[in-house]
Amino acid sequence: MSEETALIVNAAQRDDVALRNAIALWADTTTAPTSLRRDDLAHDKREAANSFFSYMGKSPSEVTPLDVTEWRRWLEVKNLKPATIYARLSRLSSFFEWAMREPMLRQAIKSNPVILAIPQAPRAYQTESSKALDDEQLRALIGVVRKRAADGDLTAKRDLAILLFFFATGMRRSEVIGLRGGDLERREEMLIVRGKVKGGDYVGRELRDVQVREALFGYLEACGRMKALETNSPLWTRHDRAGKVGASLSSHAFAHNLKRYAREAGIEKIHVHQTRHTYARIVAEDTGSITETQEALGHRNLSTTRVYVQRIAVKRDKHSERISQRFDAGGTRS
């Protein structure tokens, strides 16, 4: 290698390191420290930006809207879902907006090339991956995890407790994965689950289901962590070689396991948010009421609940028998 070539290579390597450092700084400073999913969100940001610049092989100052469009089409060829593509482009756009405000970068980056190439935002939850599981799929999925747990798999014991938490409460991904021991209060026939929900409110939930409690206590006993319920330690920890044993479980790690269980259960595609849609489906079918489903999900607007429950199959009859007692007071009924 000539001296001139070596200088070019070294300069390119320095530029690559500088870009990755800038991306890491952007992801860190633009992710709220109080977020329950801070590590996951920062990871997603870094991954989106690094993927784009690795694909294009250009510096931020050289990127054009046509480059962004090319990357978008490449993501489409990979059969990524519209919501996933939109999220990655949104993160890339956030990086450029941040860079344009940074004193060391704004001289070189004058505009955001993503704005002209980003697609229209897809409608919330209107994808195959957000549909509720039917009862057969629900039983098959839980059956797979329960069998692994019964065979002594500690990770499966944890995942069974998490999965039952999702299906029994309808709690969101970050709300369940972010639970800490101090968020749970044990009472004789129930658990009280307290935590921060979407919108910033703190709520408490009763959890009476015996299966959920047994799965949770079984997991904590198996890994010697029952005392976690008396502390502010993470409720769910890692038990696999892929992550540091004892470290807080990430939602990415659980989602990866969930896909593996789903394939074994014969479910081709699955997403963690489907647990909440499944919960909504069951509540709607059992109550026959969109307003009761809204209350169960904790939605402020009924229109949001309608995204989860497209229809109420059968509206429950709660009144006709009491009404008939009035017009049948004379004993005309045979």
Check pLDDT > 80 for residue 218. yes
Q: In this predicted structure, what is the pLDDT of residue 245?
A: 63
**What pLDDT does residue 164 have?**
95
- What is the tens place of the pLDDT at every residue in 58-70? 999 999 999 999 9
Q: Rounded CA gap, 36 and 203, in Å?
A: 15
Average pLDDT, whole number, for the chain? 84
Three-class SS of residue 61? Answer: helix
| Contact yes or no for 246/234 (Cβ under 8 A) | no
> Distance between CA 239 and CA 293 in Å, rounded?
36
Q: Is residue 205 very low, low, confident or very high in pLDDT (cuts 50, 70, 90)? A: confident
- CA 276 – CA 265 distance, rounded (Å): 19
pLDDT higher than 60, residue 312? no
Give pTM, 2 decimals. 0.64
Domains annotated for the chain, with CATH where assigned, are 3-122 (1.10.150), 137-269 (1.10.443.10)
Which residue in the block uniquely carries the two structure tokens 């450092």?
21
191 forms beta bridges with 186, 207
Q: What is the pLDDT of residues 76-113, one digit of tens each?
A: 999 888 888 988 999 999 999 999 998 888 888 889 99
